[in-house]
Structure 1
Amino acid sequence: MSRTITPAKTDLAEPRRLDLPQSNLVADVVQETLALTRRLFIQLQRRPSTLAAGIIQPLMWLVLFGALFQNAPQGLFGDRVSYGQFLGAGVIVFTAFGGALNAGLPIMFDREFGFLNRLLVAPLASRFSIVMASAIFITTLSLIQTAAIVGMSAVLGAGLPSVFGLALVAFIVLLLVLAVTGLSLGLAFALPGHIELIAVIFVTNLPLLFASTALVPLSFMPRWLQVVATLNPLSYAIEPIRYVYLHSDWSFSSTIMQAPWGTVSLGGALLILVGFCVVALSSIQPLLRRRLA
């Protein structure tokens, strides 16, 4: 009498290394994250035009928009403030925002070409290394773009903040990039394909640009748009950076914006940004757990 030997069932959705010591588990997660991050940078190395365009485009904004409004009435953007100085903060924030909003595209293409499925059945110590690699990649690119914009602004006469001011600018960009990257990665797992994700990116980008203080001060807007702009979290990234650029004696209690509902201090804007980041990252946790399970 013959027996049929059936292989033991294994759940491909479960990580393979749960029995490892904690130190080994952390080391494996770091190794996986670095390897996946390196893969993204190799892709960038093969397509350097992506990075070049990401740097040239905001610099063109800075030069062309600054020249377009150089004859604006004196005092419209503040005492002894040129439009180029005023615009720099908006260009920094929207360059970082646009790059973070595109963070989900590599994940979406990996889904469509089947590479993500191979990662999900691989013996990874943690599948969240897939997400962390994308976050590290986008954050690095955003900081490179920010450095280029800050350097060009200095060349065009906008000056440079202090060392602590530059650190604050980097911190604000980091908060914004982490929040928007998380939302973009959530959309990459939730939407059916890259066409839908690109549509969301196009529909979201310009309205948030014009409904913020990136291009004009709050006082220049009609009342209803002022309300909308103060509900836009990007305004709370733009105004602290702008204030740090224009005031060397800044502090966390400095008033940076007169909103329709009251004054906003620099510290208050940072708290709003931190809250936005926490809410954004917390909201995608259930979705990521389901998709990466």
Structure 2
Amino acid sequence: MSNTLTPPKSDPNWQQVASPQLYKNAAPSNFLSETIQETLALTKRLFIQLQRRPSSLLAGIIQPVMWLVLFGALFQNAPKGIFGNTTNYGQFLAAGVIVFTAFAGALNAGLPIMFDREFGFLNRLLVAPLASRFSIVFASAIFIISQSLLQAAVIVGAAAFLGAGLPDVAGLATITLIVFTLALGVTALSLGLAFTLPGHIELIAVIFVSTLPMLFASTALAPLAFMPDWLQVIATINPLSYAIEPIRYLYTHSDWNLNSIVMRSFWGDVSFGGALLVLVGFAAVALISIQPRLRKTLS
């Protein structure tokens, strides 16, 4: 008979089990892998919901294609020169439809979280032993931005089919970057509103009130020079214009570069690279501005 004593098993640290985020510094690799796993699982949940109810995605694809067809036909016989360097209004309109579709889709990013709040599912996530509660936000952002990129790809294909042409590979990659940056900034603002407003009625009201003014106060449907002075001022501070004009330049110029002038505003010329910097700045400001609210809600 052996006299060796087996040490008793230590009780699990239930505080660590209940609040693993407090111990993330002890095992950063595990924390990162668990956060990625949680984000992927929550993202998969959103895509399963989309698969069961694909009508929202189909509507988000069919509507902009209808815009291309109907508006392109409506202004087919417009006087030459009214749309700048192109006589093809479909080519002029394609950039506006791509950007506005991404904007409208990203503006709805807060609705799934808002519905989770109202149905109690968000509370279950907040009390669950997640490695990081920010995985809830990451999943929503990935889901919405993926939809925006898919819609943009369909619109680019439809515009090419309707005679607007197709940018080169570098141009398509730049369009992807522009759509991603804009969708990221707008998604951040929408998620911030989802954690701030009391219910989905208020969020939908904000979406309805802001959508059309942002569209008409941009260069999506008409060039800047075509607008009255006061509307030109608004359009030049609208982030949508800084996404539309570079994409439009890609459609009308094959020899573009970062120094190319894409917009001539009342305060000066805007280069291709300058427009991209404005979009990056807009996304950065949006992400920074929602941090206090997210930390208060998710902490």
- What percent of counterpart residues are identical? 72
Aligned equivalent of 1:280: 286
Aligned 1:17-96 pairs, distance under 5 A: 18=23, 21-96=27-102
Q: Tell me the distance in 2 between the aligned counterparts of 1:53 and 1:121.
A: 35
Structure 1 residue 197 corresponds to structure 2 residue 203: yes
Aligned equivalent of 2:247: 241
Aligned equivalent of 1:126: 132
Q: Tell me the distance in 2 between the aligned counterparts of 1:281 and 1:101.
A: 14
Q: Tell me the distance in 2 between the aligned counterparts of 1:225 and 1:236.
A: 15
State the Cα deviation string for residues 107-165 of structure 1 (Å, max 9, x = none).
Answer: 00000000000000000000000000000000111111000000001001111101000
Deviation at 1:38, TM superposition (A): 0.2
- Partner of 1:143, secondary structure, is helix
State the Cα deviation string for residues 182-229 of structure 1 (Å, max 9, x = none).
Answer: 000000000000000000000000000000000000000001100110
State the Cα deviation string for residues 65-123 of structure 1 (Å, max 9, x = none).
Answer: 11111111111112443111000000000000000000000000000000000000000
Deviation at 1:13, TM superposition (A): 9.1
- Partner of 2:129, secondary structure, is coil
Whether the 8 Å contact between 2:84 and 2:223 is mirrored in structure 1 is no
Supply the RMSD in Å over aligned alpha carbons. 1.7
Q: Tell me the distance in 1 between the aligned counterparts of 2:264 and 2:255.
A: 19
Structure 1 residue 265 corresponds to structure 2 residue 252: no
Moved more, 48-57 or 88-97: 48-57
Flag the 1:12–1:27 CA change in 2: closer, same or farther, 3 A.
Answer: closer
State the TM-score, normalized to the length of structure 1. Answer: 0.95
Residue 248 of structure 1 aligns with an amino acid whose one-letter code is S
Q: Tell me the distance in 2 between the aligned counterparts of 1:31 and 1:9.
A: 22
State the Cα deviation string for residues 15-56 of structure 1 (Å, max 9, x = none).
Answer: 456255111111100000000000000000000111111110
Aligned equivalent of 1:147: 153
Aligned equivalent of 2:182: 176
Flag the 1:79–1:270 CA change in 2: closer, same or farther, 3 A.
Answer: closer
- Partner of 1:192, secondary structure, is coil
Whether the 8 Å contact between 1:257 and 1:265 is mirrored in structure 2 is yes
Flag the 1:200–1:97 CA change in 2: closer, same or farther, 3 A.
Answer: same
- Rg (Cα) greater in structure: 2
State the Cα deviation string for residues 235-271 of structure 1 (Å, max 9, x = none).
Answer: 0000000001110000000001110001000000001
Residue 96 of structure 1 aligns with an amino acid whose one-letter code is A
Q: Tell me the distance in 2 between the aligned counterparts of 1:157 and 1:69.
A: 14
Q: Tell me the distance in 2 between the aligned counterparts of 1:73 and 1:124.
A: 60
Residue 53 of structure 2 aligns with an amino acid whose one-letter code is R
- Partner of 2:23, secondary structure, is coil
Flag the 1:59–1:44 CA change in 2: closer, same or farther, 3 A.
Answer: same
Q: Tell me the distance in 1 between the aligned counterparts of 2:51 and 2:148.
A: 16
Aligned equivalent of 1:4: none
- Partner of 1:212, secondary structure, is coil
- Runs of 4+ in structure 1 over 6 Å off: 8-13
Structure 1 residue 291 corresponds to structure 2 residue 297: yes
- Partner of 2:201, secondary structure, is helix
Q: Tell me the distance in 1 between the aligned counterparts of 2:212 and 2:16.
A: 44
Unaligned runs of 5+ in 2: 1-12
Flag the 1:170–1:212 CA change in 2: closer, same or farther, 3 A.
Answer: same
